[in-house]
Amino acid sequence: MSIETIKTEYLAELQTITDAKQLADFWAKYLGKGGEVQKLMGGIKNVPNEEKKAYGQAVNEIKNWAQALYEEKKVEIEKKVM
């Protein structure tokens, strides 16, 4: 899956999450050990040496972006529970 595809699907799916169980499943799908972002990180070995730095930076950016949005959603769900 490409970075842009992951971003698009991530945002769309994040909007549908309404409880902690869905959020946990979402984390596993995208940010967990076998998640889509981790797959991107593992794909660095397939990138030509001259492109590794740019690829690594792009993957790191999506990882940080995804984690920030996840944390926002987590806080939103925790507030609903209280």
Closest among 43, 36, 39 to 70, alpha carbons compared: 36
Region 53-72 average pLDDT = 95
pTM of the model: 0.86
pLDDT in tens, 23-43: 999 999 999 999 999 999 899
Task: Determine the pLDDT at residue 53.
Answer: 94
Buried-exposed string 17-52: b where 16+ CB fall within 10 A, e elsewhere: beeeeebeebbeebbeeebbbeebeeeeeeeeeeee
End-to-end CA distance of the chain: 37
Q: What is the rounded CA–CA span in Å between residue 14 and residue 26?
A: 8
Region 6-26 average pLDDT = 94
Region 43-69 average pLDDT = 94
Residues 6+ apart with CB under 8 A from 17: 23, 26, 73, 77
